[in-house]
Amino acid sequence: MHVKTIVTGPFQANTYLLWQDGGSRAVIIDPGDEADRLERDISTENLSLGVILITHAHLDHICAVEELRRWSNAVVCLPMAERPALGWLPESCRFFGLPEKSAPHIDYWLNPELRDLSEVLLPDQLGGLEIAVHSTPGHSPGSVCYQIGNHWFVGDTLFNNSVGRVDLPGGDWPTLQASLRTLISLPDDTLIYPGHGPITTIGQEKSTNPFLKNILQPDTANVGK
């Protein structure tokens, strides 16, 4: 599998473009901004886009969704519990002084019990990739991770040496702790693709991330991106 990381927008969020070796159909995760640039990257790789996956509905992860959807006719998936945050997009853009965006159209609202995207999407839409969904709330009420083998695309749940902030509407530190416990139970060689910053591994984070070392301490500071 190919994974191309594209950093976009004023929040420097990671967008991930995924496709199989020799494949022509791609999946994109969290297209946060700069839709024109993302379209060029997809075209440069001689790919078409089958599905747009969103880990959570904060503006730095969704501002390019609607333009990409219209350009590609790809289907869009978002966790069901992120519906309220999606509606805040125009207001969020105004708050940060960014051009106002309307909430994108969502084709599939993913419920927390869903474990396999093949239950709602066709193989061609998934580019032949086997993608599992894991509910990891805390940074936001409906945050999810998308798993392909030992590759985990975790949004803003976990970062290199940090974790997701919980001071935004819908954030909750005890809930995030529970999600982080799930992640640190994974094998040490599990690759973590965060919503911001460099790729890391579970083993590295267990060794160096102060929030994981102190995860059982209820008064751990709730900082992050």
Tokens of 162: 């940090």
Locate the domains of the chain by residue range: 2-213
Task: Note the pLDDT of residue 105.
Answer: 96
User: What is the predicted pLDDT for the residue at 45?
Assistant: 96
Whole-model pTM?
0.93
Q: What pLDDT does residue 214 have?
A: 73
Q: What pLDDT does 216 receive? A: 42
- Residue 25 is predicted with a pLDDT of 97
Q: Which pLDDT value is given to residue 217? A: 53
CATH 3.40.50.10800 fits 2-213, yes or no: no
Q: Which residues of the chain have pLDDT under 70?
A: 216-225
Q: How far apart are CA 4 and CA 7, in angstroms?
A: 10
Dump pLDDT digits (tens) for 77-99: 999 999 999 999 999 999 889 99
Say what the pLDDT of residue 150 is: 97
What pLDDT score does 223 carry?
A: 46
Position 213 scores a pLDDT of: 80
pLDDT of residue 222: 45
Q: Would you state the pLDDT for residue 219?
A: 47
